[in-house]
Structure 1
C-alpha cells in the first residue's frame, strides 16, 4: 500500500537494507521515497519487508551462502 502518491515529474528513490540473515533466508527492508518535482522535499511513499529464501536446484530451501 502507498502512504503517499507519486506525481508526474517526481523522482523515485528506492533504499534497501538487509535486516536479518537466517540459515536459509534473509529479510530485506525496502523504502520508496519521492523527491518532489522542482523541490528538495523528500516524502516516503511506501515501504515493505521482503523475505528471500535460498533454493537449491530442486526448489528446496538451502543454506544462505556466507558473505565473502
Structure 2
C-alpha cells in the first residue's frame, strides 16, 4: 500500500516552539505525536481505553524541519491476550508537498484497560 492509499492517523505541522538547539524539530515532539497516533489505532482495535506500556523500537531516520507537514501512520501489527504492538511511520512532506521523506519509525506496545485501569482481554477478532 502506498502512502497515498492509506490515511494518516495524524497530520500536523510543527511550529517554531518545537525546534531544538540544532534547528530541527525536537525528538520528544515527534515521539508524542507517534504515541497519540498509536493510541488511536490501539484504542480502536481494543474497542476501549488503552495505555502505552513500552516503546520496543524507535528510529530517527532524518530530521524534521520547520514547515514540514508531518503524516503519522499507525497500524496494529500484532495482538496478544491483553496487549498489542502498533507499528508507526512518520512521513514529512517538504517543498510544498513536492518531496516526501520517511523521518521516523517505531513499534509501540499498548495494553487494553478495564474500568479499573487494569489489563483486560482484547477481542481476538
Moved beyond 6 Å, runs of 4+: none
Q: Give the CA deviation at 1:56.
A: 2.8
The structure where strand makes up a greater share of residues is 1
Confirm whether residue 10 of structure 1 aligns to residue 74 of structure 2: no
Correspondence for 1:20: 78
Correspondence for 2:123: 65
Q: Which runs of 5+ in 2 are unaligned?
A: 1-58
The 8 Å contact of residues 24 and 64 in structure 1, kept in 2 or not, is answered as yes
TM-score (norm 2): 0.47
The count of residues paired between Structure 1 and Structure 2 equals 67
How big is the alpha-carbon RMSD for the aligned residues of Structure 1 and Structure 2?
Answer: 1.7
The 8 Å contact of residues 11 and 37 in structure 1, kept in 2 or not, is answered as no
The structure where helix makes up a greater share of residues is 2
TM-score (norm 1): 0.80
Instruction: Tell which has more relative contact order, 1 or 2 (C-alpha 8 A, sep 6+).
Output: 1
Q: Give the CA deviation at 1:55.
A: 2.6
User: Which structure has the larger Rg over C-alpha atoms?
Assistant: 1
